[in-house]
Amino acid sequence: MKSHGINTTDCDVVESEEQAFNLATTMFQNGAKKVVVKSQIHAGGRGKGSFKETGFQGGVHLADNAKQAQEFARAMLGNHLVTKQTGPFGQKVSKLLLEASVDIAEEKYFAILMDRKSKGPAIIASPEGGMNIEEVAHTNPNAVRKVPINITKGITDSQAYEIVDFLGGSDPTTRDGNMEQIKNLYNLFTSTDATQVEINPLIVGKDRKFRAIDAKLNFDDSAAFRQKEIFGMRDVTMEDARDVQAAKFDLNYVGLDGSIGCLVNGAGLALATMDVIKLNGGEPANFLDVGGGASAKAVEEAFKLITSDKKVNAIMVNIFGGIMKCDVIADGIITAAKNLDLKIPLIVRLEGTNVKHGLELLSESGLAIIPAQSLDEAAKKAVQAANAYAATKH
């Protein structure tokens, strides 16, 4: 944001309590009145969260001196912060953001998002920023303004002024500078292939100047090839290792809490498969879409991901072959089952392109594969097999 001319704060990331003490010392020497110590995890609600191991309250704290910043760092680093977005296990805090406090006169909300209705970017702004912006939008919709931006023309002076005036930043002495901030934020949005730039709060300081002191930015994955610096900042330690591995083979994987592993082609079919499993009394262990162009190697990797979950008691494969050919899937299934020495029950339903050849390959493989003709039949057999296998574990 600084490289795009946006007013921010004096801040940096630390990974130890010693680094926190040294950085905070420098910030206080440079005139900071307080230093914010903020847990860096991929979840919201950090300020209201608590640490699983110690019960320490809050993943965001204000330190009055360097020693206190160090104490906060000691209480947070290495422990799991549980918030309303993390689930009961929380996320491990391995990094902290230290930020010099600023004098805040007012808190505003500002965001740029891709808007389907206007078929382009739209600025969303509210003079009532802060932690409860969702409640503001619900109870006082007039306090939220949406300004669609023409993607080919970009943001105009009149639009920038409209936003600045709505946010109460049109004091004659700072108006032009604040308009420039809005334009710089829009330039950040377009030049980085962002899909979201959300500033909450965008503060008005006592000097009446806009400053971004907290932000959430999302970027278009399809633009990774030209946004290498941004995507190089990705912190895979904050992600499920299975999700990271899946992405290497262009697999869409999301781990769930059930016992029936799913391997499906197509997101819609995957969701339908999960629904039918639940309708038959089972629980899916994952969402896994191998897509339309997966190779036999990718299918094998998909099996590795599924079987890495120790809760899985059966695997259900549901393929509707279009671009993805059934014989390719069958070949991948056979290779994976043999290489992994698969013991878990395997239920397979194939339909579509080259289905006859695919079924022949499975039949001749010598593997104990449970065939199914329909989605409902496959789900019933998967639930039965999972329950039977679970009983053998005990």
Q: Is 360 a catalytic residue?
A: no
Please write down the long-range contacts of 149-152, taking CB distance under 8 Å and 24 or more positions apart: 149/112, 149/120, 149/121, 149/122, 149/123, 149/186, 150/120, 151/120, 151/121
Mean of the pLDDT values across residues 58-87? 95
pLDDT tens for 141-190 read 888 999 999 999 999 999 999 999 999 988 899 999 999 999 999 999 99
CA distance 382 to 259: 10
Q: List the domain range (segments joined by +) for residue 362.
A: 241-393
Enter the tokens of residue 2: 């600084």
Cis amide linkage into residue 201, ω under 30° from 0: yes
Which member of 106, 107, 109, 128 is catalytic?
A: 109
DSSP string, 308-363: TSTT--EEEEEEEESSS-HHHHHHHHHHHHHHTT--S-EEEEEEETTHHHHHHHHH
Say whether pTM exceeds 0.85. no
pLDDT tens for 216-230 read 999 998 999 999 999
Domain CATH number, residue 249: 3.40.50.261
* Domain total in the chain: 3
Q: Are residues 169 and 275 in the same domain?
A: no
In one-letter notation, the amino acid at residue 56 is: F
Q: Are residues 257 and 357 in the same domain?
A: yes
Banded pLDDT at 293 (limits 50, 70, 90)? low
Closest by CA position to 163, among listed 137, 202, 191, 132: 202
Q: Are residues 361 and 263 in the same domain?
A: yes
Q: Are residues 108 and 187 in the same domain?
A: yes
Which member of 128, 162, 198, 300 is catalytic?
A: 198
Q: Are residues 116 and 204 in the same domain?
A: yes
Q: Are residues 84 and 147 in the same domain?
A: no
CB 63 within 8 A of CB 21: no
> Does any domain span residue 235?
no
Q: Are residues 357 and 259 in the same domain?
A: yes
pLDDT at 131 over 90: no
Higher pLDDT, 274 or 353: 274
Residue 218 confidence (pLDDT): 95
CB 175 within 8 A of CB 164: yes
Domain C-terminal end among 44, 73, 100: 100
Enter the tokens of residue 362: 């499975």
pLDDT tens for 339-375 read 888 889 999 998 888 888 988 998 888 888 898 889 9
pLDDT at 5 over 80: yes
Domain C-terminal end among 227, 253, 285: 227
> Does any domain span residue 236?
no
> Does any domain span residue 233?
no
Domain C-terminal end among 65, 100, 135: 100
pLDDT at 58 over 70: yes
Q: Is 229 a catalytic residue?
A: no
What percent of the chain has pLDDT above 90? 60
Place of tokens 């809760």: 311
